Amino acid sequence: MNYYGEYVTKLIEQFGKLPGIGGRTAQRLAFYVLNMPKENAEALAQSIVEAREHVKYCSCCCNLTDVDPCPVCGSSKRDQNQIMVVESPRDMAAYEKTKDYRGVYHVLHGLISPMDGISPNDIRIRELLARINENTREVILAMASTIEGDTTAMYIARLIALNNDGVKVSRIAKGVPVGGELEYVDQMTLATALRGRFEINTGKEPEEDEDN
């Protein structure tokens, strides 16, 4: 039964489509928005529309941005020859808050996960390999210490070793909790993990993906 009418029901349904939002939370969010002053609700709606229209991927690091290149890639104060690879823009933001890293980033927008149907071709690995050149000094693999994070890190490390001899590939230290999400780790732990990174022994070469 439709208890609230067409418009409220539609609003609840839209909030319910967001990740991690259940039915009760969707209702609370909908009622909160409906009780906001009209100008605040209009500002929220306008911000969503403007962000959707203007935000895009940085052509260099694949971070979300409204300018291209993004502020980090476009900064002359950043070390362009040191690249930190992260899973998401949230992880990049977490490392920026430490103020302990002065290189640039590459955002994968996901991790390899065969169980979820996510292959290397579904994330931004190809773009990463394209930007590594003879001037690249180090690639830091800063994904979370999960099965998916470790699998992705080893896959990327082996590809870099195969195609870019001489580029140092390192992994952040295990100060980050195993299975933990980087965006929830405190800044001191992240900084310590970065300083304690270790070089990866790539071992055997990766199998070529059929779509490459």
In terms of domains, do 32 and 79 share one? no
In terms of domains, do 181 and 161 share one? yes
Dist. CA 191–CA 58, nearest whole Å: 25
Buried b (16+ CB within 10 A) or exposed e, 2-41: eeeeeeeeebbeebbeeeeeeeeebbebbeeeeeeeeeee
What pLDDT, in 10s, does the model give residues 162-202? 988 889 999 886 655 544 555 656 666 666 666 666 576 66
The residue segments making up the domain with residue 122 are 64-199
In terms of domains, do 44 and 81 share one? no
Could you tell me the pLDDT band of residue 5, with boundaries at 50, 70 and 90?
confident
Quote the longest CA-to-CA distance of the chain.
65
- Comparison of pLDDT for 207 and 89, the residue scoring more: 89
- pLDDT score of 207: 52
Q: Are residues 104 and 87 in contact, defined by beta-carbon separation less than 8 angstroms? A: no
The residues facing 57 across adjacent strands are: 64
In terms of domains, do 92 and 153 share one? yes
Number of structural domains, the chain? 2
Dist. CA 72–CA 104, nearest whole Å: 7
- pLDDT score of 181: 59
Residue 59: inside a domain, yes or no? no
In terms of domains, do 34 and 120 share one? no
In terms of domains, do 100 and 38 share one? no
Separation in Å, CA 160 to CA 79, 134, 166: 19, 12, 9
pTM recorded for the entire structure: 0.77
Dist. CA 131–CA 129, nearest whole Å: 6
Q: Are residues 150 and 112 in contact, defined by beta-carbon separation less than 8 angstroms? A: no
